[in-house]
Amino acid sequence: MKKALMVAALFMTVGCIDIPAMNGLIDRIVPEESRSYHDIEVWSVEGDFAPDPDQDDGTVMKAIEDMLKHPLQFQQAAQNLSWKKYEHTFVIESEWNARFVMLLLSVNYDIAGGSDPGEGPAGTLDISIRDPNGGEHGEGYEMVTWNNGISERPYLLPPIYGIWTVVISGSGLEGMGSIAYSGDYAMKVESERLF
């Protein structure tokens, strides 16, 4: 707005103006407003994976017994179980004028005795990241291995304003069963805000 008034005033006083040259002069006289962004942590959560509570308790108990007998073959016992889904939400506000959104995911698995087999399957993971418009940005189902764990895996998301939904599930036992085999997760969402 200020530029337009300056150009109009100069045009009226001089008559003929070289517009590109005047734009450079006006930029020096009336600088553009600078925008200052600050990184922010939008949301974070931690949780433990657990069996689906709707399945038969006998199946879960049998899996725990098998894991305690043969800790290094825990995945064979775990493959017959279904896992509880955890739903989380976070909000990206429009007034932030964010240019990016990033979700960081970490997943950890432990077996009886704290021994780490070094390779092979460690556990399962299923993640869905839905934007406010219903778009899917998650990886889906995957097998996590001991030698290729997940530590702050970044998911670069579009800066869509509104409520985002994350649904995550994975293998792991709770309560006394966690002595035999456990899995946990941590998620953090980072973005930026215009100040």
Predicted confidence (pLDDT) per residue in 151-189, tens digit: 999 999 999 999 999 999 999 988 888 888 899 999 999
Residues in Cβ contact with 60 at an 8 Å cutoff, skipping those fewer than 6 apart: 51, 81, 173, 177
Global pTM reads 0.78
43 and 27: one domain? no
151 and 55: one domain? yes
State how many domains the chain has: 2
pLDDT, tens digit, for every residue of 64-85? 888 778 766 777 777 778 999 9
137 and 101: one domain? yes
89 and 128: one domain? yes
Residue 48's domain spans which residues? 37-194
49 and 90: one domain? yes
15 and 92: one domain? no
CATH of the domain at 184: 2.60.120.380
99 and 22: one domain? no
Distance CA 110, CA 24 (A): 63
Cβ contact 152:105 at 8 Å:
yes
